[in-house]
Structure 1
């Protein structure tokens, strides 16, 4: 068996914790074979610095583990790392279970709102396939949603259980998305991290140079990303701050509101806002994968 073992601290229910079975993944998506290589240690892997290799790996994972057909993303858009995205879904399930005497709620009666779904529509795909939840997925770009719709059309259960909605105003998150009388059990979000194009380039270049000794080599973001996926005015902190204040206006229609937080320095000021406005519950859930740690900030108003 060809297996690339990953020593990462994934969620206990994450099926990707034991690594990639490249033989099975290549069978599910034969295109992956052209990106396989042998590492210096003599094990089979792929070139994770190659965006095309990462894209084909994702297609393979979705086809083999989740029976997803014809998945693709808009050119140069964010290519989500499937194992990490799966972790978020599992931790969200655990959070929902705290309101159900420890039982994870499953089925299409559980409604989840995905903010900024992107052309990958990855959280609705994983949440529907793993827990059979239903989703409303939003984005600020119509072309992105049209591309995601193609994936839904190719997969019957996704088409039945995932609804796409355009956010017409970039300044808002929930306004014009949550309809009167509508309620969501939870919200999830992977917010833009950077404050601007320049901030993105500076931090990407610094990280790349720390990992590579060849300073003349041009930095490459192997997971891609369109501008609205990578940066917004005020960066991650301002985006989540807007989420918090707008969620107050819909507190009777929302259960747990959650978002990823990449920069730990953003946690304290965001939690201060939640405490000041008397959120009923606030949780910080760490997700550690290898040397990288990211957090889920979760709050509930009632």
Structure 2
């Protein structure tokens, strides 16, 4: 099979290195075969402008590499699995720093798990982590619960909670007896519905499609935008995290726009938090997550034993 010109430099433990093996993928998930065809370079591929093809490809990746059945609800966000796995692996490295270099079995809180429940699925499969996923949208929560229920054993390892307060992120979710080694979050990117729609149209144009063409990522409103965008969302998450500094060891959130980091770091410094920016890269795409903790290093190590 022809190698791609610039393979994505994923995390070293990421299973999704190099080109897709479509022979193995279609064997694992036969419905994908109908979407596989030669690309302009003669290699087997799928049309990434076709939302059904993208969904089937990611379902095949989940089946082949993690042995899981991943049936997405119509209209829900279909995340690219390889990139989502990177966040999990880099988070594992962060936790290992407090555990003498060994990746621990951890309890993780996923803020906004969505209908796809992707981070709990990967984190549980890779590291045996126990997850609590939160979601504000009741339909998305039911869809995520269906995925968990469809895979034997996951109901003991992944539990889901609804955030009933639309103005809160962490508040009301973490109970007085809860303790989490890490919090994950992929916050809404856009600041308004109009901005989200404009971003969708840019993707359409970049793919060379007509304006009426379907998009390959889907997503509900609360997954794509919130008032003030990701900067406002993460800032609110930081403010709420202070009260939970002894119940959550590391708080983390993806930050898509690098220019949002300075103001968020300044907010954390004012709160006397320990702050780290973990950089990730997939090909030409640069990504990162912001991590902070209010817990001393010695106590963090003790809580991982």
TM-score (norm 1): 0.93
What secondary structure does 2:153 align onto? helix
| Closer, same or farther: CA 6–75 of 1 in aligned 2, 3 Å | farther
Asked if structure 2 preserves the Cα contact closer than 8 Å seen for 1:2 and 1:21, the reply is no
What secondary structure does 1:113 align onto? strand
Match of 1:120 in 2: 116
**Deviation of residue 184 (structure 1)?**
0.2
Q: Which of 257, 279, 282 is equivalent to 2:275?
A: 282
**Deviation of residue 164 (structure 1)?**
0.4
Q: Distance in 2 between matches of 1:5 and 1:63?
A: 27
Report Cα offsets for 1:179-206 as digits up to 9, x if no partner. 0121100000100000111011223323
Q: Distance in 2 between matches of 1:18 and 1:282?
A: 32
TM-score (norm 2): 0.93
Match of 2:72 in 1: 73
Report Cα offsets for 1:39-64 as digits up to 9, x if no partner. 11100001111111111011111111
Matched, 1:240 2:237: no
Q: Distance in 2 between matches of 1:131 and 1:120?
A: 19
**Deviation of residue 259 (structure 1)?**
0.6
Report Cα offsets for 1:118-140 as digits up to 9, x if no partner. 11110000000000000000000
Report Cα offsets for 1:76-104 as digits up to 9, x if no partner. 11101000000000000000001001111
| Closer, same or farther: CA 93–158 of 1 in aligned 2, 3 Å | same
Q: CA RMSD in A?
A: 1.7
Structure 2 residues without counterparts, runs of 5 or longer: 296-305
Q: Distance in 2 between matches of 1:2 and 1:44?
A: 9
Match of 1:93 in 2: 92
Report Cα offsets for 1:190-244 as digits up to 9, x if no partner. 00000111011223323543553x7x54464311111010001111001000110
Q: Distance in 1 between matches of 2:4 and 2:115?
A: 28
Asked if structure 1 preserves the Cα contact closer than 8 Å seen for 2:10 and 2:281, the reply is yes
Match of 1:270 in 2: 264
Asked if structure 1 preserves the Cα contact closer than 8 Å seen for 2:109 and 2:180, the reply is yes
Superposition pairs for residues 114-193 of structure 1, below 5 Å?
Answer: 114-193=110-189
Structure 1 residues without counterparts, runs of 5 or longer: none
Q: Distance in 1 between matches of 2:115 and 2:207?
A: 29
Asked if structure 1 preserves the Cα contact closer than 8 Å seen for 2:192 and 2:226, the reply is yes
Ranges of 4+ aligned residues in structure 1 off by more than 6 Å? 1-6
Asked if structure 1 preserves the Cα contact closer than 8 Å seen for 2:112 and 2:186, the reply is yes
